[in-house]
Amino acid sequence: MNAFGNPSSPGSILKSSRESQGFSLEQISAQTKIHTKILDALERDDYAHLPARTFARGFLVTYAKTLGMDSQQMLLDFHEFLEAKFKERPSRSQGMEGYAFEPGENEQNKRGVIIAGVLGVVFVGLVLFFFKPANKKRGEKHKELAVETTTPTGVGANDIEAPPTLKEGNPSPAEVNDVKPQPTKPVSPSVAIPPQVGSGPSVGPTPPQVVVAPAVVQTVPGTPVNPPKPESSDPLHKGDDLKPDQVHAKIQLEALEDVVIHYQSDQQEKSSILLRKGRYLAVKAEKGLWIKTSEPEKLRFKLGTGGTFSALPHRQFKVDHQGLVTPMP
């Protein structure tokens, strides 16, 4: 016996309670926003034609609450019964199709590996395309700066002439008279040539030295310096700033076509996003999250980090911290 005083299935309990209160399936469907086919399948315990496990449990909880029953107690009393029913559900590998049947275990994993590989190759290609030309230009610029700092401004290699050759010994008066003073070419005033220090004859001008003055940054006293503001770790309000031990509700959505999704994580701002075909959206929350879309047939979902993707049968629903899905009007 269970807490409901009946050893039968949850479906028979729901049906008996509904009929005793005088409700029809259409009236229950209008209150819960659950299709009559799903309500009928719940009463017949026909879980083979219901959506995925999470949605089936959510339908059962909503139906029981509408009839004023203890939904959590029902899940506890019929836990083994429900688990056995879920294991009997056929899969796509057995030739079944539709949103009620999950894909094979390796189907999503293979697709994820292929997508990750393609994105990785594209990313590496973009990095090489944009950064390699930039490094080449930066190297050429350094070479130009090196040439400019080693070549004096306004003084060429031909502008410096070697002094006359001096012979050893005492020159004769005739040799002294034959030495003519060499004209000097004007030197640009922007380069200063220091004089020679020491004894003995000069053998030529000293190569000019180029001194680069350090840059001086002037600051106005009393001007406050504003530190850069840290970037938000969760700009799209998807719960990315939560720590792993704070995440109690998580949903992953896959777009089969371009579709607009509205969502809210805990008490953060409600957000909207245009999810392109083939892209994914993950929303995490500590207490609960809310999802809404006008085109559920363009989306597939899964809860948590494991499991497989299933079709989305509701336009609007919420997921609480226990992972239960509740449809909303």
Q: Are residues 283 and 322 in the same domain?
A: yes
pLDDT of residue 37: 93
pLDDT of residue 255: 93
Among residues 61, 89, 117, the one where a domain terminates is 89
Domain enclosing residue 259, as ranges: 244-327
Number of structural domains the chain divides into: 3
Q: Are residues 42 and 115 in the same domain?
A: no
259 domain residue, yes or no: yes
pLDDT of residue 136: 65
CB 47 within 8 A of CB 88: yes
Q: What are phi and psi of 213, to 5 degrees?
A: -75, 140
43 domain residue, yes or no: yes
Express each pLDDT in 23-63 by its tens digit. Answer: 999 999 999 999 999 999 889 988 887 888 888 889 989 98
Cβ-defined contacts of 171-179 (< 8 Å, 24+) = none
Q: Are residues 83 and 131 in the same domain?
A: no
Q: Are residues 82 and 119 in the same domain?
A: no
Report CA Rg, the chain: 41
pLDDT of residue 7: 55
Report the C-alpha gap between 84 and 225 in whole angstroms.
66
Express each pLDDT in 218-242 by its tens digit. Answer: 555 665 556 565 566 778 878 888 8
| Location of structure tokens 């028979």 | 12
Q: Are residues 82 and 110 in the same domain?
A: no
Q: What is the mean pLDDT of residues 196-222?
A: 52
Express each pLDDT in 163-177 by its tens digit. Answer: 545 444 455 555 444
Report the C-alpha gap between 130 and 118 in whole angstroms.
19
CATH label of the domain that carries residue 271: 2.60.40
pLDDT of residue 313: 82
Q: Are residues 17 and 79 in the same domain?
A: yes
234 domain residue, yes or no: no
Residue 105 pLDDT > 90: no
Stronger pLDDT, 141 or 73, i.e. the higher one: 73
Tell me the whole-structure pTM to 2 decimals.
0.35
Express each pLDDT in 56-84 by its tens digit. Answer: 889 989 989 999 989 898 888 888 888 88
Q: pLDDT above 90 covers what percent of the chain? A: 22
pLDDT of residue 219: 53
CB 296 within 8 A of CB 315: yes
Q: Are residues 65 and 128 in the same domain?
A: no
96 domain residue, yes or no: no
Cα angle for residues 172, 178, 180 (degrees, 5° grid): 130
Stronger pLDDT, 184 or 86, i.e. the higher one: 86
